[in-house]
Amino acid sequence: MHPSHEKALIIIKPDAVQRNLIGEIVSRVERKGLKVIGMKMMSVEDALLEEHYAHIKDKPFFPGVRDFMKLCPVVVVAVAGINAVSALRLLVGPTKAWEANAGTIRGDFSLSTQSNIVHASDTIENGEIEVTRFFEESEIFSYSKIDTDFIYAEHKQ
């Protein structure tokens, strides 16, 4: 992988899984030009949720978040690309989905904060940490794509 490529994690949350939006979300990510380097459906256990949501696990609303995330399996997607984190954040829209612009994933499919369709890494550092948290090294793939020169034309040396 190119050294300037960032990694980011997307969690397709239970509301999106229940509403048959998995393909729509993955399609938008791929159409943006981000490369899927890992993807799987999984059930999330309490320990993983407490680690992932460590910044809110002591808040009174955390039990509701935990229970929501355990309603059904989620789909986790690892992506990579130049400026992957910022591109992904623009694609999904703000956490408070009612503030998200039309055309973003949250703007098109949600009006909630908790049921806001997806989680997306918010920093380069968190992208690396979150991908490692949800994927074993053997589940992450490095491969070339034929469209890379067209997606990143201005980055070509």
Q: Which domain holds residue 109?
A: 5-155
Identify the weakest region by mean pLDDT among 47-51, 84-88, 153-157.
Answer: 153-157
The rounded distance, in Å, linking the Cα atoms of 70 and 74 is 8
Tell me the C-alpha distance between 80 and 30, whole Å: 11
CA separation, residue 134 to residues 41, 90, 125 (Å): 11, 22, 15
The pLDDT value recorded for residue 112 is 82
Q: How far apart are CA 70 and CA 48, in angstroms?
A: 11
Task: Look up the CATH number of the domain holding residue 129.
Answer: 3.30.70.141
d(CA 152, CA 26): 20
State residue 149's pLDDT score.
Answer: 80
Which residues are paired to 8 by β-bridges? Answer: 79
Structurally, how many domains does the chain consist of? 1
> Global pTM?
0.91
User: Which residues are catalytically annotated?
Assistant: 119
Residue 82 β-bridge partners: 5
DSSP symbols for 106-127: HHHH---SSS-SEEE--SHHHH
91-116 per-position pLDDT tens digit: 999 999 999 999 999 999 998 887 89
